[in-house]
Structure 1
Amino acid sequence: MAKRHAENISIGDALKEFIEKNRLEKGLDKVNAKEAWDKVMGPAISKYTTDLKLDRETLFVQLSSSVLREELSYGTEKIIKLLNEELKKELIKKLVLR
C-alpha cells in the first residue's frame, strides 16, 4: 500500500511522485512526442503522418507522401529543436523520416 504524507502536497507534486514511483515517464514521453509533433508541424503535415514512434532518443516518423518526406528531410535539425522546445526537455536527438 502507498505511504501517506502527513503534510499537504499539491496535486502536481503528487502526480510527479506517482509517475516516478511507477516508472511511467517513458510512456508519457511517447504520448507527449506525438502531441508535440501534431502541434509543431500543424494539421497539414499531421494529415500525412501515418505512424510516429519514439525509441530511446530517436523519433521515427512514417509519412504517406514521399514529396513531403523529402522536403522535411532538409530541416531535420530545426524540427528536432522545435520539438524539444515544445516538450521542454532534450528528449529527441535524432529524427528518422520514413
Structure 2
Amino acid sequence: MKKPFPSASSRRADIIPLKEGLEALVRAYRLGGKLNEVTVVASWERVMGKAVAQKTKEVYVSKGKLFVRLTSAPLKHELVMAKTRVLELLNAEVGEQAVTEVIFL
C-alpha cells in the first residue's frame, strides 16, 4: 500500500536544489556576464586591499573593460605597471574571464 504523505527526508524527482535552479535561471536569461561584472566591482576592495580602495574614487565595467578612477598619481603609476596582475586577481575572484582590460583614470 502506498504512503499518503512522503517522508520529510525523501526527495521528489521534480525538486532541484536552489543553487541549481538559480544557475539555470541565470543561464536562461543570459545574465552571467552582467553578474560577473557586478561581482568584479563589488570585490575591488577585497582583492586590492583597503589602502587602494581608500584612494579609489570610482570603479565600473563597460563592454568588458574595468575602469578605475584613482585620487593618487603615484598609486595610479604603480597599478599601471602591475596591470596584468590586477587583471589576473580580479578574474580569479570571479572564477572566469569577466574583464579583458583594466584602465586606470
Q: Do they superpose with TM above 0.5?
A: yes
TM-score band, normalised by the shorter chain?
A: 0.7 to 0.9
The root-mean-square deviation of aligned C-alpha atoms, in Å, is 1.5
Q: What's 1:95 paired with? A: 102
Match of 1:3 in 2: none
In structure 2, the residue matched to 1:37 is 44
Aligned to 1:10: 17
Range that drifts further, 61-70 or 16-25? 16-25
- Report the counterpart of residue 82 of structure 2 in structure 1: 75
Quote the residue 1:64 is aligned against. 71
TM (normalized to structure 1)?
A: 0.84
- Classify the secondary structure of the residue corresponding to 2:46: helix
Once residues 97 and 74 of structure 1 are traced to their aligned partners in structure 2, the CA distance between those partners, rounded to angstroms, is: 11
CA shift, 1:55, in A, is: 1.4
Look up the SS of the partner of 1:60 in the other structure: strand
Consecutive aligned runs of 4 or more in structure 1 exceeding 4 Å deviation: none
Q: How many residues align?
A: 93
2:67–2:102 contact (8 Å) kept in structure 1: yes
Distance 1:92 1:24 in 2: 15
CA distance in structure 2 between the aligned counterparts of 1:27 and 1:51, rounded to whole angstroms: 18
Query: Deviations 1:40-62 (Å, cap 9, x if unpaired)?
Result: 10111011111111112211111
TM-score (normalizing by structure 2): 0.79
